[in-house]
Amino acid sequence: MRWIDTLEAEAAEKLPEAVHRYFRQGSAGGVSAGEAVAAWSAYRFRPRVLTDVSTVTAATTVLGTSVDVPVLVAPSTMHRMADPDGEVAMASGVDAAKSIIGISSNAGTTFADLGATGVPWWLQIYIVRNRSVTERMVDAAVAGGAQAVVLTVDTPVVGRKEDTGETVWDLVQPGQLLANLPDGEWTDDDLAKADDLGPKAIGWLAERTGLPVVVKGVLRGDDAKRCADAGAAAVIVSNHGGRQLDGSVPTAQALPEVAEALAGTSTEVYVDGGIRRGEHILAALALGARAVFVGRPALWALTVGGSAGVTRLITDLGSELEHCLRLIGCPRADDLTPDLVTKRLTD
């Protein structure tokens, strides 16, 4: 069995049941969370033969920064429940694989502590109703050395999780969540997600931070175009790991439409959701993504192997991608093209 496929079961042994469920679950009926992986596996390849694949490379750049592997780590919460060193362990593991991490605005580590490690990181932000909360947070992230801001736009309200019994919220300890928002200063209403955002939020964030803005949670070509027109440096095709509107299209299905809408622009396209194998990354890059993000696999790897586990996850996925590049007859990940992929016959 592949090491990556052993991770979730091993993590489940180590984590409280409610935490394992929180990491794994989708919203509502779990349709989108349940079909994400299979949607990638539905693509079929049209490999080229008789090409020189003696040297292959998965390396690329994201927003101008070099990465050894086009596999970044998606923002997620509760890292301290997976490893006592939380986000610092996760970020250090990603850095050792020469990739980049998105740090959740709900993180259990202060941006100053993260910045002190010197590893590269991108801030993920939700804009909340009290804009001064968001302002304070992005200012602290800039001071902590964030290199980009990922604005999550698929969460005008938080997706409903159908939990019964003990939940992660019963177990969370002070400091494990929202370390960048000191308690007692804000009301729940201040912290509720802003549900009246428009594309102007992109320019506002870019101006406030001086950083490239990456819009996360785009599933349609027309929305991708609106983001690009409003100044987005990149979009992430994402349905939030199936944790927002259940039944949202799989990202494997949405990616070609978004890539087509942004063809010929300088706005980069990334994708997340259900990416678990080299073949999934191969399909994503061929269909127009510059890089992919992984969410849950990184949480399992952090739980099982700490920082070194996260490094191994990314390097293993990179090795699988290089193997696939050889088999498909394309030496450079950056040179993959849509003609190398088709839908399976039964679609």
The annotation places the binding site for FMN at 104, 124, 152, 216, 238, 272-276, 295-296
Q: How far is the CB of 221 from ligand FNR (least distance, A)?
A: 19
Query: What count of residues does the chain have?
Result: 347
> Given the rule CB under 6 A, which residues bind ligand FNR?
22-23, 36, 74-77, 104, 106, 124, 152, 216, 238, 240-241, 243, 272-275, 294-296
Of 242 and 330, which CB lies nearer to ligand FNR in the complex structure? 242
Closest CA relative to residue 37, chosen from 237, 252, 295: 252
Cβ atoms of residues 282 and 330 within 8 Å: no
Q: How far is the CB of 293 from ligand FNR (least distance, A)?
A: 6
Q: How far is the CB of 277 from ligand FNR (least distance, A)?
A: 12
**∠ CA 178-181-182, rounded to 5°:** 110
240 classed as catalytic: yes
Of 172 and 330, which CB lies nearer to ligand FNR in the complex structure? 172
Of 76 and 109, which CB lies nearer to ligand FNR in the complex structure? 76
CB half-sphere exposure, 153, CA atoms < 13 A: 27
**∠ CA 83-103-202, rounded to 5°:** 165
Q: Which of 20, 240, 280, 323 is catalytic?
A: 240
Cβ atoms of residues 22 and 168 within 8 Å: yes
The CA distance from 60 to 171, in Å, is 40
DSSP state letters, 99-124: --EEEPTT-SS-HHHHHHTT--EEEE
Q: Going by C-beta distance under 8 Å and a sequence separation of 6 or more, which residues neighbour residue 108?
A: 77, 78, 79, 80, 86, 87, 175, 176, 177, 178, 179
The CA distance from 267 to 284, in Å, is 16
What would the two tokens of residue 236 be? 């992430």
Of 104 and 330, which CB lies nearer to ligand FNR in the complex structure? 104
What would the two tokens of residue 201 be? 């939020």
Of 219 and 333, which CB lies nearer to ligand FNR in the complex structure? 219
Q: How far is the CB of 73 from ligand FNR (least distance, A)?
A: 9
Q: How far is the CB of 298 from ligand FNR (least distance, A)?
A: 8
CB half-sphere exposure, 289, CA atoms < 13 A: 27
Nearest residue to ligand FNR, using CB? 295
Q: Which residues are catalytic?
A: 240
